[in-house]
Amino acid sequence: MDMTAFKKIRYFYLLLLSLLFLTACSFSRPLLFTPNVIEPLIVGSDANISLRVMKNDTPVGGVKITKGTLPSGLVLHYKDPNDLIEILGKPMKVGVYPITLDVWCYGTNYPGQVGKKSYVIKVIDNNGTH
């Protein structure tokens, strides 16, 4: 085999290995959020909702609400490094509040995982109506 053919084969294998590495790094598994549904809250009562992010390869770096708003009286809190998201407070108004959480995880040599989870927070009165 002449040197030109050897260089072409070596170049091809290096290119193939590079593509395989980039493909493996660009596909990350989706994040899992638990629980899947938030139980109804009672207006004026203490709320302590715990949401956990799972199947993340690296710690969660941040969380924010990108669609909707929390009911008045509730706040979003993220506890690092337990990957625990909390919604705390006392809801002040009866209603239905759809929200979407956006979560991002730290990266290493490639971008970290990202995920979205939509929830509906129902605030009911003592009679169970909203």
Q: What is the mean pLDDT of the chain?
A: 87
Q: Which residues contact 69 (CB under 8 A, 6 or more apart)?
A: 97, 99
Higher pLDDT, 29 or 74: 74
| Angstrom distances, CA of residue 105 to CA of 58, 118, 130 | 6, 18, 35
Q: Is 103 helix (H, G, I), strand (E, B) or coil?
A: strand
H-helix or E-strand containing 64? Answer: strand 60-67
pLDDT digits (tens, 9 = 90+) for 107-123: 988 789 999 999 999 99
Tell me if 48 sits within 8 A of 84, measured CB to CB: no
**Ordered domains of the chain (ranges, CATH):** 32-124 (2.60.40.10)
pLDDT digits (tens, 9 = 90+) for 39-81: 999 999 999 999 999 999 989 999 999 999 999 999 999 977 6
